[in-house]
Structure 1
Amino acid sequence: MLDRVTDDLAANGLVDFSLRRAARAAGATHKVLLYHFDGVDDLLKQAISKLRERRTVNAMAATAGPGHPTLATRVRAMWPMLSGDDPGLWVLDQAIGLAMYDPERYGWLGREASRLYLPSLVSLCPADWSDRRKHEVAELVLAALRGFLVEWRTSGDAAGIAAGFEALIRALEREEAAGDQPSVPG
């Protein structure tokens, strides 16, 4: 059932998402869904988590292999998986918008994204970096990519996003070239 609801969410977005719509997608009644989920918000949370998992798996798969030996090349390889035309991707970006619009009800959407994406980004960092540095750089990458995605969905400024992305890649190259020494004293 959850897979069918997730597929519907990916195809139709968050607008007008309801328990009844989810039940139609799942081929069940809303009462059956309420038996398996703790309401529409729980169902939404689980479906969005499933979409995020798909996005993360695809992005990480793109970074595998010998063609991506550095953090910068790995981030470059994952970007098309994050910003592509797959309809499920824009739903995740809508979710971040909901978290900003109504943080009391939907703040978990942003927190859940960070909880899921940060370990993957940390794993892309050079093995010889300290855990603190890996975490700091992963936070930078997450914030920058999230910002680019929001900009893409709201303005469509492809040239500006491409310029910002190239600046991020250069910053990552400099960071990696510095070895395990921070590029800024601190």
Structure 2
Amino acid sequence: MNISADEDSPERAGYRRSAGSPRGEARRRELLERVTEDLAANGLVDFSLRRAARAAGATHKVLLYHFDGVDDLLVQAVVRLRERRIGKALDAATEGSVRRSLGEWVRAVWPILVGEEARVLDQAIGLAMYDSERYAALGREASQQYLPTLLSVCPQHWSDRRKLEVAEMVLATLRGFLVDARTSGDTAGVAAGFEALVRALDREEAADE
């Protein structure tokens, strides 16, 4: 998997980033949305500043005005994809007025996690593992984005430590299932493991009763 930095960078080209004015911020969001759409459709393979510029309908120099190079743009686009995924998961999990158990919540969001954007986000984690020095933010940001949601759906009377332990377990286990599904194609094995996770969460909550 190759992410090209191209020959231009903010330092070499002498461009400055958008100063954060309302107009500049609106333009930055517009560009980011277009690049995010391209990433969702075409994945991370051969992602480059020039490819991003074509997707955004702008020049690479315009992108360098608003972003700190190709890596910054890639991380922000992946973060945006995760935001979409989390939003969809929350919508699915909060459908109806009855509070879901942890196991029910995980079951409700699983189809979203393995949905159309899963391939790109799995690639992002793989890239963070492949070149941790350059792309550590892709993995670090994933935990920072997902953990608050997982903590929020834990029973409110649990201690902060218990919430964190269970949230970390769910995050790590689901991430493992996603990687396994993507790399091995063993859908039956992943499904069996998923059911075991749901039962474990049910037992965790039942321990309070």
TM (normalized to structure 1)? 0.93
**Matches for 1:137-148 after TM superposition, within 5 Å:** 137-148=166-177
Is 1:81 aligned to 2:115, yes or no? no
Work out whether 1:14 is the aligned partner of 2:44. yes
Distance in 2 (alpha carbons) for counterparts of 1:61 and 1:133: 25
**In 1, distance between residues paired with 2:82 and 2:100?**
25
Once superposed, which parts of structure 1, at least 4 consecutive aligned residues long, lie more than 6 Å away?
Answer: none
Secondary structure of the residue aligned to 1:127 is: coil
Once the two structures are superposed, residues 28-82 of structure 1 have per-residue CA deviations (whole angstroms, 9 ceiling, x without a partner) of: 0000000000000010011001001001111111110335521110010000000
State, as a whole percentage, how many aligned pairs show the same letter: 72
- Secondary structure in 2 matching 1:91: helix
**Structure 2: distance between partners of 1:136 and 1:149:** 20
Q: SS where residue 128 of structure 1 aligns?
A: coil
State the 1:89 CA deviation: 2.1
Distance 1:121 1:168 in 2: 14
CA distance in structure 2 between the partners assigned to 1:9 and 1:51 by the alignment: 9
* 1:102-121 superposed matches below 5 A: 102-121=131-150
Q: Which amino acid aligns with 1:162?
A: A
Match of 1:38 among 50, 68, 92: 68
1:51 aligns with 2:73: no
Cα distance in 1 between the residues matched to 2:122 and 2:51: 21
Matches of 1:10 and 1:29, distance apart in 2: 20
Alpha-carbon distance in structure 2 between the residues aligned to 1:68 and 1:113: 26
C-alpha RMSD of the superposition: 1.1
Q: Distance in 2 between matches of 1:148 and 1:28?
A: 38
Distance 2:52 2:174 in 1: 30
Runs of 5+ consecutive residues of structure 2 not aligned to the other structure: 1-30
C-alpha contact (below 8 Å) 1:10/1:89 kept by paired residues: no
Counterparts of 1:156 and 1:73, CA distance in 2: 25
Distance in 2 (CA, whole Å) between partners of 1:104 and 1:113 is: 16
CA contact (8 A) 1:95 1:109 kept: yes
Q: Which one has the largest radius of gyration?
A: 2
How many positions carry a matched residue from both structures? 178
Spell out, residue by residue over 1:76-126, the C-alpha distance to the aligned partner (whole angstroms, 9 max, x if none): 000000012x1x221000000001111111111111000000000011111
